[in-house]
A = this chain, B = another copy of it.
């Protein structure tokens, strides 16, 4: 399809990877997906975001910080650090980030809707395999 074939010509098929892939990996990364979805609701503080994401799957401070830095660098997340004590840092989506997050949400909503069918398919697959 267009997505890959357009990029294809620029590469020899060697070990190189297009920047396109890199962005996609950030957005679809394990924690990137969940962070983007949560931030689509509203801005979050660090620990608050950690708890919110943790409802789906627990995340360590390290990985959350790392994920947020990556998304900030890509211009998807805005970081607002207030120089107070104790520190207060708010994370929110940029306009660019909101666009990305909406795409990701599409995927998440689809997954939620079709979850049952996927699980059914798995049972069929597993049963068929055990029969061999």
- Chain A interface (Cβ within 8 Å of chain B)? 1-8, 11, 13-15, 17-21, 23-25, 27-30, 33-34, 37-38, 40-41, 51-58, 72-76, 96, 99-100, 103-112, 114-115, 117-122, 124-126
Supply 25 A–B pairs (Cβ within 8 Å), ascending by A.
A1-B37, A1-B38, A1-B40, A1-B105, A2-B109, A3-B105, A3-B109, A4-B38, A4-B55, A8-B55, A13-B51, A13-B54, A19-B118, A23-B111, A25-B30, A28-B29, A28-B33, A73-B122, A74-B118, A75-B118, A96-B114, A96-B117, A100-B111, A103-B103, A103-B107
Additional 4 contacts, C-beta under 8 A, given A3-B105, A17-B56, A19-B118: A4-B38, A75-B118, A75-B124, A106-B107
